[in-house]
A and B are shown apart, each in its own frame.
Chain A
Amino acid sequence: MRTVIFRTIAPYLAALMVLFSIFVLLRGHNEPGGGFIGGLIAASAFAIYGIACGVAAVRRAISFHPMTISGFGLFLATVSGLPSLFVSQPFMTSQWLYIHAFGVEVPLSTPMFFDIGVYFVVVGAIGSIALGLEERESD
């Protein structure tokens, strides 16, 4: 597996996949995509990087433990349900905020943050599984 070509390409491939995953995540509300798919793509990126260059390199690259990322995602998803409580609506009722910046209208919404939370949970949990298994392979 660890051919020179693969090892050379893998970092770029992984970076591209992560970028693509974010794209898929953000467009998810209007086009096919979303947190689950994006998260899986990013997790596969880490898996590929890990196979090519070793798990230690991946862990250095993402600097947090994958489960920490996952926990952060769950936290973000939960917190995104709270703003509705301030306007006396039930937990997780979506709230929208349109911001005009540089002549572009940017819609910010709680479902978006929720979806980002989903993304992080999936990246973290699936990435952790993949990396964990790869690590076993190498020891």
Chain B
Amino acid sequence: MPLFGPEATLFAVLAPFVAAIFAPAVTRHLKHNAAWVLAIVPAVVFLHFAGLAGLVAQGAVFAPSTDWAPSYGLTLSFYIDGLSSLFALLISGIGTFIVLYSGGYLKGHPHQGRFFSFIFMFMGSMLGLVTADNLITLFVFWELTSITSFLLIGFDHLRMASRRAALQALVVTGGGGLALLAGFLLIMGLTGEANMSAVLASGDLLRESGAYPVVFLLVLGGAFTKSAQFPFHFWLPNAMEAPTPVSAYLHSATMVKAGVYLLMRVQPVLGDTELWTFVLPLFGGTTLIVGTLLAVRQTDLKLMLAYTTVASLGLLVMLTGTSIDKAIEGAALYLFAHSLFKGALFMVAGTIDHEAGTRDITRLGGLRKAMPITFAAACLAGLSMSGLPPFIGFIAKEYLYEGIWGEGGASALLTATAVVGNALMLVIAAAVALRPFTGVKVETPKHAHEGPILLIAGPVVLSILGLLFALTAHWTGETLIGPTVGSILGEAHALNLHLMPTHIGAPLFLSLITIALGVALYLRLDALRHAMFRLLQAIGWGPDKGFDQAIAGIVSLSTGVTRIVQGGRLQVYLVLTFAVTALALLVPPALTGSWPQVPSVPDFRFYEWTVLAIAAAGLVAVLTARTRLTAIVSLGIQGFAVALIFMLFGAPDLSFTQFMVETLSVVILALVMTRLNLAPRDHRRVVHRVFDGAIAIAIGFGFGALLMQITELPFDSKLSDFFAEYSRAIAHGRNIVNVIIVDFRGFDTLGEISVVMVTGLAVLALIRVRPRRQREDVAPATEQPVKPAIKHKEAAS
């Protein structure tokens, strides 16, 4: 029975976020032992999903949803089937041990609390990602994992390598996320459904749609970047700059599998097409080979493991891409196995680094006496990774060989790729598990000894689980892997898992070949490494370097564009703005030929004509003013003319306000302008004046024509009538304008008076802030305007 019922899934997803809030405080009090307390959170989440998984194994599918913003029809809906429950179990289960491990690994680190916080945020995002039903929710969690990954990789933000790796991961995976968003929007448009469960029920709709290749490529863009497929693989090894718990958790066991999760998730609706079965195995296979070869070249334990993670992800993509039932069984098994052994091996590498002070394989050896438990865990995990019986890795390999083995050239190619890849994987597994522990004891920077319980709990449990799940293969297949495969295939799937092969056939032989090849290569590991080193030197360029070049290029490009677009000349900005405004006003009527009619001379009264003439005269006077006083007075004249216009056309309120404002304007202008110079003439050159004048006339003409056209149309007085009708009836006021301001639109007015007050504060601040120069120098600034402060700035910079 589930612990809290499927509805509690929302809380299960939110729990890590809550833990993230409290983690720093808990850590402040309990130091590294906080890990014991904090690990309870993922453990409880694990129990919740374990309960659900039991029901899922019996064929249940849960879609609990919570109303979020019902008025907008938004619900937080989750979808829990075999695939998502397997992922949720891995995330929360491994997460529990990662939290413990972090307690030991970052013991005494000043920011350990922050680290826990980030880890929990990631955990919540990842849980949300795999359980989300709504596509947009899925996308949001997808990007959240990118962001938390960024924070974790850049945890040691004082080192440039960390910053670079963090940024690189964010750019690559975040960019892929945007492609995914586009893909999701397209899917939502094509199917008319916003929920993954509904999309999955849409059958062949997407496959038969003309937009299928676009959807396919966009989804692939998200999946390939997240799961570090060639040629986007480079960010993952760089992400090893993060503390080891992060590498173990995000960059091997969980986050990087999000891409694989997505591909598996959409396999029923997007998979099994020619495009799918060609592109996925091609890139997956390439990634597998490239990843293993690059892993061989490394001497750093973490980097070796990181490249094999790339390779494993390639293998998973390749298998998912075949859309063959058996191969997908292999993929699901391998995914499960990989999370267990890779998480364990990363923690082993971290423990070695932590206790011995280095993780360079050439400087390690003979640690088996000093670190026996770590050695044992490393061996168990290494055997699983090598695909040897009786471990879960072995079963996975048997099934995947069986899946891809078949007739035809494509199948042979896939099989050869898998064999070579697995053999090289065995080489790395052996190197990581044996090299540091066996052989002659090498002096290490720190005096090596066994790690504390916090550090060894994770690797020991995970590696033993790799063995236990294999020994209880039938149960594993029934409860965990079978339902997962069912979800990937989109139909119920019974899986009868056996530890030992039931018949002597191709898979077994392929396994033997793999092991033989692997052992042979392991014995010549150093030679192999040197060969790879020389090869890579000969090539000399990789996507990693390309990333640097691309970033540098973007910075240069944007600098150039900014220099052109924002030249720092106000005049240019204004001319551009107004020219575009003029075009916007004049082009549409010019194209449609809908100019207003030529107006007839209206029946204005004499005094009305006079007021209009005064306004016009005031405007012209401002334009031609040669002294400050003339300019101020003319500005006042046009302002008062406007006030008169308001008065004549039934707006006494406006008129009074305008009068007061114009008076005050003239007063403060007079106060300020005595200090400002007004050059007697416009210092624009004639060409400029003609040009500016043309734009100004175009704008004036445009607005005039626009207004004429508006007023030619019949007037809809619905809104005004409403106010006239109800002003007295329900608002008890006879001055309709005032009623609108203080009652009907009171909330707007509240905002507007806030603006007035803020402006008052701003002016006060501007007046009060004394120029530094004035305080330092005795000389009055007004008489001796010291040439710009710009000069000082330039000298300083």
Contacts and interface: CB of A to CB of B under 8 A. Distances in A.
Interface in A11-31: 24, 28-31
A89 interface: no
Interface of B: 652-653, 656-657, 660-661, 663-664, 667-668, 671-672, 674, 731-735, 737-739, 741-743, 746-747, 749-750, 753-754, 756-757, 759-761, 763-764, 767-768
Contacts of B653: 32-34, 37
Interface stretch (A2-10, A39-47, A56-64): A39-47
Interface of A: 24, 28-37, 40-41, 43-44, 47, 51, 66-67, 70-71, 73-74, 77-78, 81, 91-92, 94, 96, 107, 109, 111-112, 114-115, 117-118, 121-122, 124-126, 128-130, 132-137
Contacts of B660: 37, 40-41, 43-44
Given A31-B735, A121-B756, A128-B764, 11 more contacts: A32-B737, A33-B656, A34-B742, A37-B660, A40-B661, A40-B664, A111-B743, A111-B746, A114-B749, A115-B742, A125-B756
A40 B749 CA distance: 16
Contact of A130 (B656, B667, B747): B667
The majority secondary structure among interface residues of chain B is helix
B763 A129 contact: yes
Contacts of A111: 731, 733, 739, 742-743, 746
A30 B734 contact: yes
* Interface-centre pick from B667, B674, B746 (highest chain A CB count, 10 A): B746
B743 A118 contact: no
Nearest to B667: A47
A65 B59 CA distance: 74
Contacts of A40: 657, 660-661, 664
A125 B760 contact: yes
Contacts of B739: 29, 111
A18 B652 CA distance: 20
B778 to A, nearest CB: 15
5 contacts: A29-B742, A33-B735, A34-B742, A35-B741, A129-B668
Contact of B767 (A32, A124, A136): A136
Given A94-B731, A114-B746, A37 B656 contact: yes
A119 B705 CA distance: 38
Nearest to A29: B733
Contacts of A118: 741-742, 749, 753
B738 A33 contact: yes
A115 B738 contact: yes
Nearest to A28: B738
B459 to A, nearest CB: 59
A134 B756 contact: no
A24 B738 CA distance: 12
Nearest to A30: B734
Contacts of A71: 757
A134 B671 contact: yes
A36 B735 CA distance: 14
Given A29-B735, A74-B757, A107-B732, A133 B656 contact: no
A135 B742 CA distance: 34
B402 to A, nearest CB: 68
A83 to B, nearest CB: 13
Contacts of B664: 40, 43-44, 47, 126, 130
A29 B661 CA distance: 21
B272 to A, nearest CB: 56
Nearest to A51: B667
Given A114-B742, A132-B767, A29 B760 contact: no
A117 B668 contact: no
A111 B742 CA distance: 6
Contact of A124 (B661, B663, B760): B760
Contacts of B761: 67, 125
B743 A94 contact: yes
B735 A128 contact: no
Contacts of B652: 32
Contacts of B661: 40
A62 B414 CA distance: 89
A93 to B, nearest CB: 9
Contact of A34 (B667, B672, B741, B747): B741
Contacts of A114: 742-743, 746, 749-750
B184 to A, nearest CB: 37
B750 to A, nearest CB: 6
Contacts of B768: 132
A70 B757 contact: yes
Nearest to B663: A44
